[in-house]
């Protein structure tokens, strides 16, 4: 299903009739509607909520900032979203009556928790295991080291909420002996894209409309060009998510053979690189997209994270057994790139670690972290 421009305009007209926030935008083209995010919706909550939504179900997402965001869905919307997600999982053999094992990312640092999940897997015979890539990887490592047996019911494992790097995927599939599939979505509106048999993320055009824009100009990026990912839910009306910032960087292109719209995400989010007199979106890393993917595959690098320690000091944390000295080419290239982005020389160090810990609030492992506050004085 391709979202026709006429359908988008119908949606824009409906928004203007129904929601007070959109009343001033009557007769606007859909793509002229304002870009929204959590902060805008939270500050104008009453203007966004559907006046006739009725009973809604609540859930909360903290995000990397730790600021809670209250998500609402009607029972009918939740049923439609569940059906949409099952449609994708069914392609991987999932029966209508199935069992899932859900991993908690925050507990996997404890060996007792790993043993608990290994025992649960045998006892509950799940058809699939869902967890963040780092959690799936940690469990796979534990089960390999302990020689744990696997349930015959297992059909696939599913990553969500983190970038799935090549070496992680290979290890997870090697241990569990089933495909590891990728799922991209938000707590706010659930499924945006799901992996196809080739491992590519296919956008669910029956549920969402996706745009890619240049963060600086707000203009649409061309097909295959990287930019900020905006998403519009075609299902949720109780609280509209229209031209909604996901915080992710990606590109989209139409596959000419299948006709499907494919999404390619970068393993960085739209955090800010902070400078004494300005801020730079970490979206500038999109210019190094090939470099990031090569790095994820190279020298046994399972995960990586770029950390800004001061205005002119950065570090690249790599989860690998290789020595930091083996990454001089990485250090040199990243230093030159950060120098260009910051407009001044920067120091970059390479730090190799056994694993990168998840954020204690979000439970995710971000690829870019800024450790200085917006008000911190320059050196």
Q: How confident is the model at residue 66 (pLDDT cuts 50, 70, 90)?
A: very low
Q: Is the pLDDT of residue 6 over 60?
A: yes
Tell me the per-residue pLDDT of 125-144, one tens digit each, with 9 for 90 and over: 999 999 988 889 889 999 99
63, two tokens: 């995000």
pLDDT at 157 > cutoff 90: yes
β-strand pairing of 303-310 with 368-370: parallel
pLDDT at 320: 85
CA distances from 283 to 120, 153, 157, 289, 349 (A): 40, 41, 29, 10, 21
Average pLDDT rounded to a whole number, residues 216-239: 92
Q: Using pLDDT thresholds of 50, 70 and 90, give the confidence band for residue 332.
A: confident
Comparing 11-20, 64-73, 109-118, 349-358, the range with the smallest average pLDDT is 64-73
User: What pLDDT is recorded for position 379?
Assistant: 42
- Mean of the per-residue pLDDT values for the chain? 85
Q: Which of 193, 314, 312 is nearest to 248 (CA)?
A: 193
The pLDDT, as a whole number, for residue 183 is 94
d(CA 101, CA 117): 8
Higher pLDDT, 107 or 44: 44
- How far lies 74's CA from each of 22, 57, 70, 107, 232, in Å? 21, 6, 13, 31, 17
Q: Which pTM value belongs to this model?
A: 0.75
């Amino acid at each position: 299903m391709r979202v026709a421009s006429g359908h988008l305009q119908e949606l824009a007209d409906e928004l203007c009739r129904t929601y007070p926030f959109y009343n001033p935008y009557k007769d606007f083209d859909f793509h002229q509607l304002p870009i929204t995010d959590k902060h805008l919706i939270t500050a104008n909550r009453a203007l966004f909520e559907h006046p006739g939504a009725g009973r809604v179900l609540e859930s909360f997402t903290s995000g990397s900032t730790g600021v809670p965001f209250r998500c609402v869905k009607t029972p009918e919307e939740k049923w439609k979203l569940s059906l949409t997600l099952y449609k994708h999982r069914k392609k991987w053999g999932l029966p209508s009556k199935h069992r899932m094992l859900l991993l908690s990312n925050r507990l996997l640092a404890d060996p007792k928790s790993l043993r608990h999940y290994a025992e649960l897997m045998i006892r509950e015979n799940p058809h699939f295991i869902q967890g963040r890539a780092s959690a799936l990887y940690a469990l796979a490592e534990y089960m390999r080291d302990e020689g744990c047996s696997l349930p015959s019911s297992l059909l696939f494992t599913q990553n969500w909420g983190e970038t799935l790097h090549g070496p992680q995927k290979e290890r997870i599939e090697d241990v569990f002996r089933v495909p590891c599939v990728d799922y991209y979505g938000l707590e706010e509106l659930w499924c945006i894209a799901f992996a196809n048999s080739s491992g590519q993320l296919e956008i669910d055009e029956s549920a969402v409309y996706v745009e890619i824009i240049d963060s600086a100009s707000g203009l649409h990026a061309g097909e295959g060009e990287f930019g900020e990912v905006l998403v519009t839910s075609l299902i949720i009306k109780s609280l509209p998510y229209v031209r909604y910032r996901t915080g992710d960087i990606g590109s989209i292109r139409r596959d000419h053979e299948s006709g499907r719209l494919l999404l390619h995400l970068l393993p960085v989010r739209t955090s800010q690189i902070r400078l004494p007199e300005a801020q730079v979106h970490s979206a500038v890393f999109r210019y190094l997209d090939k470099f990031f993917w090569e790095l994820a595959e190279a020298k046994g690098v399972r995960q990586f994270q770029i950390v800004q320690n001061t205005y002119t000091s950065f570090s690249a944390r790599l989860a690998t057994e290789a020595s930091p000295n083996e990454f001089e080419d990485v250090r040199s290239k990243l230093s030159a790139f950060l120098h260009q982005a910051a407009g001044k020389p920067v120091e970059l160090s390479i730090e190799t670690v056994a694993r990168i810990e998840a954020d204690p609030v979000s439970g995710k492992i971000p690829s870019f972290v800024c450790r200085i506050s917006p008000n911190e004085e320059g050196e």
